[in-house]
Amino acid sequence: MAHSVLNRLDARSKILLTVLGAIATIAFSTLGAQLVLFGVSFVMVLLINRPMLVFVLYLLMGAMMLLASACTWVMASFIPSLGEITFGSLVIPFLRGLTMMNCVMGMALTTKIEGIMSALTQLRLPFMLTLPATVMIRFISTFTNDVAQVWETLKIRGWEMGFVFFLRHPYLSTRLLFTPLLFRALKSSEALGVAAELKGLDRGLQQKGAMNFQGQSNFSKADAWLFLGASFTVVMATYIELHWIEWGLNVTRLGVM
Amino acid sequence: MMTNKLVKTAYWKSQELVTIGIFAAAIKLSSLLIALAGGGMNPVSLMLKNLVFSALLIVLLARVRKSGVLVVFTLVSTIVSALLLGSSITLLPAAIVGALCAEVGILMVGGAKKAWSPFVGVALYDLASKVFSLGVSYLMMRETPAMLVSVIPIIAIGYIGSLMGLYAGYRSLRELRHAGIVRS
């Protein structure tokens, strides 16, 4: 994980920021407000200090947007009642997607797994969510290794899995991938479930167990600045939403009437 | 004097919660694996992804026969996916409403203990979560309804995969029952 200013923030702050970002992007519907949200979230994503990764993500998002625009243009050509496509109407949904991507990337790429565990416990989530979440986070890496092993086994046995193989043998490829994963999941759940029961986890994590996840993380000055910045952004976006309603809209009509 | 003390037991056993967590990880990774192996977004890999998702979910519901499994699974899977894998948190409300609809459906067919409840639950969960996801997508793309219309065929293809997953789940459960891994 590259060193970034965002590493100093509490995981809970980043979770709350992402939720706020999701609510704000859906609530605002003017181009100006969406540009403000996107601009601020883009600055945040640049602070991750991984320019190459951000570039690749934006490239992929750009390809998806081009594909979506082409589909939209075709649909609007065949069904005129769907309305005309303007610059604003096409750009606003994309800005929403980009803002969400920036927020989630800022959170996911700068938070360590133990930080997430700690945040989940400190958010006082019930035990019925904390335990499966812990197990899921722990087992994603284990299953990744299992998947790599399954992949290697298939290669050794002469199955060249890929796009063409999937198209030619969808049923066989599903069987080849599904069966080992299912048995691995069943075996792991059996063994780990018994271990959890023997450890007495039926009575919850209890104070001592919860302490292991909590660590020493507390809100710092950086978190206060983050909340201040987020509040200022939302206020600015609200002002623009209320006073600059038509700004940037209907600038360019994109041909479909 | 003997006193009868009633010991209050928790609704969820740790073994059941562990099973939910492990299946959530397996479902998430198998979806990623199929998307990567299938070369990205194409109809075949989209259908297979949904097929494996539904089949694994049926096995999970057959293993943990309790009300609320789908809600816990959805919450855990969506929260962890957002935190670790960067998936969108805006889909969480749609998925939870979908899970609640499926839980109501399961109750209406007689509860989680019935033999058909995993199939009814997964069919309803897939349908409801996809419909409500379309609702969230509408909120995200409300300025351009044509964009939403172009998403509908993709979701329909995904649901066909889910329906095929019901059959795959039925066959898997039959084999697992024969092997004594899942009890009726």
**Percent share of chain B, pLDDT over 90:** 32
Element (H, E) at B18: helix B14-37
Residue B153 maps to a domain: yes
- Does B12 have pLDDT greater than 80? yes
Residue with tokens 């994590």: A205
Chain B residues lying within 8 Å of A71, measured CB to CB: 147, 150
- In this predicted model, what pLDDT tens digit does every residue of A140-157 receive, in sequence order? 777 777 778 888 888 888
Q: How far away is chain A from the Cα of B98, in angstroms, using its nearest Cα?
A: 18
Taking one residue from A and the other from B, the number of pairs with CB-CB distance under 8 angstroms is 218
Amino acid found at A222: A
Indicate the number of domains in chain B.
1
b/e sequence A14-52, b meaning 16+ C-beta within 10 Å: bbbbbebbbebbeebbbbbbbbbbbebbbebbeebbbee
pLDDT at B39: 61
Residue B40 maps to a domain: yes
Compute, in degrees rounded to 10, the torsion defined by CA atoms B169, B174, B178, B184.
90
Domain that holds residue B162: 14-178
Chain A residues lying within 8 Å of B87, measured CB to CB: 104
Best of A57, A128, A147, A198 to disrupt the B interface (most B CBs within 10 Å) is A128
Cβ–Cβ below 8 Å for B26 and A163: no
Cβ–Cβ below 8 Å for A161 and B37: yes
- Closest Cβ–Cβ partner in A89, A143, A170 for B144: A89
- Closest Cβ–Cβ partner in B29, B80, B139 for A137: B80
Residue B5 maps to a domain: no
Contact of B139 with chain A, judged by CB distance below 8 Å, is answered with: yes
Token pair recorded at residue B117 = 């409840």
Cβ–Cβ below 8 Å for B10 and A92: no
b/e sequence A134-150, b meaning 16+ C-beta within 10 Å: bbbbbbbeebeebbeeb
Token pair recorded at residue B165 = 């997953």
Chain B segment 29-48 residues within 8 A of A by beta carbon are: 29-30, 33-34, 37-39, 42, 44-45, 47-48
Under a CB-based contact definition with an 8 Å cutoff, are residues A175 and B164 in contact?
no
Confidence of residue B54 (pLDDT cuts 50, 70, 90): very high
pLDDT at A252: 47
Chain B residues lying within 8 Å of A189, measured CB to CB: 15, 18-19, 22-23, 63
Top pLDDT among A201 and B40 is at A201
pLDDT at A253: 45
Q: How far away is chain B from the Cα of A213, in angstroms, using its nearest Cα?
A: 16
Chain B segment 76-95 residues within 8 A of A by beta carbon are: 76-77, 79-80, 82-90
- In this predicted model, what pLDDT tens digit does every residue of A16-45 receive, in sequence order? 888 888 888 888 888 888 899 999 999 988
pLDDT at A200: 73
pLDDT at B122: 94
Under a CB-based contact definition with an 8 Å cutoff, are residues B165 and B51 in contact?
yes
Chain B residues lying within 8 Å of A161, measured CB to CB: 37
Neighbours of B181 (CB within 10 A): 17
| DSSP at B181 | S
Under a CB-based contact definition with an 8 Å cutoff, are residues B94 and A147 in contact?
no
Supply the DSSP string of chain A, one letter for each residue.
Answer: ----GGGGS-HHHHHHHHHHHHHHHHH--SHHHHHHHHHHHHHHHHTTS-HHHHHHHHHHHHHHHHHHHHHHHHHHHH-GGG---BHHHHHHHHHHHHHHHHHHHHHHTT--HHHHHHHHHHTT--HHHHHHHHHHHHHHHHHHHHHHHHHHHHHHTT---SHHHHHH-HHHHHHHHHHHHHHHHHHHHHHHHHHHHHTTGGG-SHHHHHHHHHTT----HHHHHHHHHHHHHHHHHHHHHHH-TTTTTTSSB-S--
Residue B9 maps to a domain: no
Q: What is the pTM of this model?
A: 0.78
Contact of B147 with chain A, judged by CB distance below 8 Å, is answered with: yes
Q: Give the residue on B whose Cα is nearest the Cα of A163.
A: B38
Neighbours of A201 (CB within 10 A): 21
Residue B97 maps to a domain: yes
Confidence of residue B136 (pLDDT cuts 50, 70, 90): confident
Residue B51 maps to a domain: yes
Residue B29 maps to a domain: yes
The angle subtended at Cα B85 by Cα A100 and Cα A153, nearest 5°, is 145
Neighbours of A155 (CB within 10 A): 11
Residue B58 maps to a domain: yes
Beta bridge partners of A253: A86
Amino acid found at B184: S
- In this predicted model, what pLDDT tens digit does every residue of B143-165 receive, in sequence order? 777 777 777 888 888 899 999 99
User: How far from A137 is each of A215, A235, B15, B22, B88, CA to CA, in Å?
Assistant: 17, 36, 17, 9, 17
User: Which ipTM score applies to this complex?
Assistant: 0.85
The angle subtended at Cα A75 by Cα B162 and Cα B161, nearest 5°, is 10
